[in-house]
Amino acid sequence: MTKLEKLEREVQSLSRDDMSAFRAWFRKYDSDEWDRQIEEDVQSGKLDSLAEEAVAAYRTGRAKEI
How far apart are alpha carbons 50 and 48 in whole angstroms?
Answer: 5
Does the reported pTM lie above 0.75?
no
How far apart are alpha carbons 26 and 64 in whole angstroms?
Answer: 35
Is 18 within 8 Å of 26 (Cβ atoms)?
no
Instruction: Give a yes or no: residue 61 inside a domain.
Output: yes
Instruction: Give a yes or no: residue 60 inside a domain.
Output: yes
Is 11 within 8 Å of 22 (Cβ atoms)?
yes
Domain limits at 56?
A: 24-66
Q: Is the pLDDT of residue 32 over 90?
A: yes
Confidence of residue 3 (pLDDT cuts 50, 70, 90): very high
Instruction: Give a yes or no: residue 38 inside a domain.
Output: yes
Instruction: Give a yes or no: residue 2 inside a domain.
Output: no
Q: Is the pLDDT of residue 64 over 90?
A: no
Model pLDDT, residue 48: 96
Q: What's the number of domains the chain is made of?
A: 1
- Rounded to an integer, the average pLDDT of 15-36 is 98
How far apart are alpha carbons 54 and 60 in whole angstroms?
Answer: 10
The secondary structure of residue 65, as a DSSP letter, is -
